[in-house]
Amino acid sequence: MLKINIHNVPFYRFSGLGSYYRLAHFVSTRVGGVSEGGQFALNMGFMPADTTTNVLTNRDLLLKELNIPLTSVVLGEQKHTTNIAVVTAEDMGRRAMDRESRLPATDALITAVPGVCLMVLAADCVPILLYDTEKRVIAAVHAGWKGTVGRIVEKVVERMRQEFGCDPKDIRAGIGPSIGPCCYEVGEDVAEVALENIGDLGTCVKKNEETGKYILDLWEANRLQLIHVGLYSGKIEMARMCTCCHGDEFFSHRASKGDTGRFAAGIMVREK
Ligand SMILES: [Zn+2]
């Protein structure tokens, strides 16, 4: 990822996802906003601990630097499901200005409509952006451990193929900042579910012999799913930034014991 630091609100871009003029995309940080407390400062998610006004100001501060109208943004109600929505022009603005209009229980969004900005929120979970450079179809995915072991990103690529005829070989992917293998210790219960569901993919669940705990590598688990479903490994970019280790730059649920905000990852094909 490349850090774009020329404005008041810094953000990251995946260097290989698409050119600025064809594809707007970003991963926000917690720097440059107006929220306070655990949500300091660029909290992008509506939540009881923050005010709607703050969140709207934060979204506006970031999006205007990218030339993305807030009214073009669409978010789902993220519930750690593997539910996918295909977003149309009529969905534009859902959950952009209020919480209630979100797409219910949806953790992944796909669209082929230029000018629609798909956005997911995270604070340790993995945000993933996908772009089919031929069909110009995009997706934004929220993959926490449940979504990851539910193979949500694999399902998203399958859906892009079914719905829009996308060839996985044309799809580029960016796996964003999230809790990394350095910090993501899980109990035996989670490890068991993970092994059962993604154990065929390779080594993303490892036992720490010293502590007896397990490490779940969400980055690798999602990377391997993308390869499994047909993406070229050279087209998958990993941020390899741990949100828990970088609490000054990203919101982390684990690092701040729950009192935190949300950063965002968004993607939009620019209209010609
Ligand atoms: Zn870490």
Mean pLDDT, rounded, for 56-68: 96
64 SS3 class? helix
C-alpha of 102 from chain center: 16
Give me ligand 1 centre to Cα 245, in Å. Answer: 4
Phi, psi torsion values for 53, nearest 5 degrees: -60, -45
Give me ligand 1 centre to Cα 193, in Å. Answer: 22
Mean pLDDT, rounded, for 76-92: 97
Give me ligand 1 centre to Cα 135, in Å. Answer: 36
Share the mean pLDDT of the chain: 96
pLDDT in tens, 109-168: 999 999 999 999 999 999 999 999 999 999 999 999 999 999 999 999 999 999 999 999
The model's pTM = 0.98
Residue 7 has a pLDDT of: 81
Helices (H) and strands (E) in the chain, counts: 5, 15
- Distance between CA atoms of residues 71 and 57, nearest Å: 13
The yes-or-no verdict on residue 172 having pLDDT over 90 is yes
Give me ligand 1 centre to Cα 49, in Å. Answer: 25
Kindly list the distances between the CA atom of residue 231 and the CA atoms of 154, 209, 235, 272, in Å, as whole numbers in the listed order. 10, 33, 7, 27
Mean pLDDT, rounded, for 218-223: 98
Residue 26 has a pLDDT of: 98
Share of the chain above pLDDT 70, in %: 100
Residue 3 has a pLDDT of: 96
The yes-or-no verdict on residue 8 having pLDDT over 90 is no
Residue 20 has a pLDDT of: 87
Residue 211 has a pLDDT of: 86
Give me ligand 1 centre to Cα 94, in Å. Answer: 33
Q: Which residues neighbour ligand 1 (ion) by CB within 5 Å?
A: 180, 182-183, 242, 244-245
Residue 112 has a pLDDT of: 98
Residue 207 has a pLDDT of: 92
Extents of the domains making up the chain = 2-178+235-269
pLDDT in tens, 233-266: 999 999 999 999 999 999 999 999 999 999 999 9
202 falls in which pLDDT band (50, 70, 90)?
A: confident
Phi, psi torsion values for 60, nearest 5 degrees: -65, -45
Give me ligand 1 centre to Cα 27, in Å. Answer: 18
Q: Is 257 left (phi over 0), alpha (psi -120 to 50) or beta?
A: left
210 falls in which pLDDT band (50, 70, 90)?
A: confident
2-178+235-269: CATH topology is CNF1/YfiH-like putative cysteine hydrolases (3.60.140)
Give me ligand 1 centre to Cα 72, in Å. Answer: 34
Cβ-contact 180, 146 below 8 angstroms: no
Mean pLDDT, rounded, for 48-55: 97
